């Protein structure tokens, strides 16, 4: 049976805040659908060089609210993206007020959370970087 990956969907409570977070990661809005009848908005975001629909994240915003959000969302798992410089990516996120839940102590992997508690894994492209401060001694914050 042939299968093709389409997208990952996450529910969001504040669409603008969530879009801003994913833009910090480097994603861009590729497509938007609004349903007056269904009272929801779908926003599809992707990395700039993957705008063919093969790496979309679909943000689902329910106009009438979603009182269950933000929940722990650990049942969801995580989204994963590779970055050219794990330290620079984490520093840019921290500078924008994002908590680094699992710092890249190993020069290879970090975790952050979106405003809706979706866990995001960041992986160093290629080989891991040499451990460096402040990351090497930075403790975990919360969970991912």
Residue 1 predicted with pLDDT over 80:
no
Q: Indicate if 121 belongs to the active site.
A: yes
pLDDT, average across residues 109-123: 90
Q: Which domains does the chain have, with CATH numbers?
A: 7-62 (3.10.180.10), 79-124 (3.30.720)
Tell me what pLDDT residue 11 has: 87
What is this structure's pTM? 0.77
Residue 4 predicted with pLDDT over 80:
no
In three-state form (DSSP H/G/I as H, E/B as E, the rest C), the secondary structure along the chain is CCCCCCEEEEEECCHHHHHHHHHHCCCEEEEEEEECCCCEEEEEEECCCCCCCCCEEEEEEECCCCCCCCCCCHHHCEEEEEECCHHHHHHHHHHCCCCEEECCCCCCEEEEECCCCCEEEEEECCCCCCCCCCHHHCCCCCCC
pLDDT, average across residues 101-118: 93
Tens digits of residue pLDDT in 8-58: 888 888 999 999 999 999 999 999 999 999 999 999 999 999 988 888 999
Q: Which of the following is catalytic: 34, 67, 121, 130? A: 121
Any bridge partners for residue 9, and if so which? 58
Q: What's the distance, CA 17 to chain centroid? A: 12
């Amino acid at each position: 049976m042939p299968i093709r990956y389409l997208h990952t969907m996450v529910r969001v409570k504040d669409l603008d805040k969530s879009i801003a977070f994913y833009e910090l990661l480097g994603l861009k809005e590729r497509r938007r659908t609004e349903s007056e009848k269904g009272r929801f908005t779908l926003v599809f975001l992707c990395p700039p060089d993957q705008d063919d629909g093969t790496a979309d994240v679909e943000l689902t915003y329910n106009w009438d609210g979603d009182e269950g959000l933000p929940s722990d969302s650990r049942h969801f798992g995580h989204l994963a993206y590779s970055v050219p410089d794990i330290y620079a990516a984490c520093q840019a996120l921290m500078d924008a007020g994002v908590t680094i839940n699992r710092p890249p102590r190993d020069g290879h992997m970090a975790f952050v959370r979106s405003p809706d508690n979706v866990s995001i894994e960041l992986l160093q492209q290629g080989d891991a970087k040499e451990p460096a401060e402040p990351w090497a001694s930075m403790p975990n914050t919360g969970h991912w």
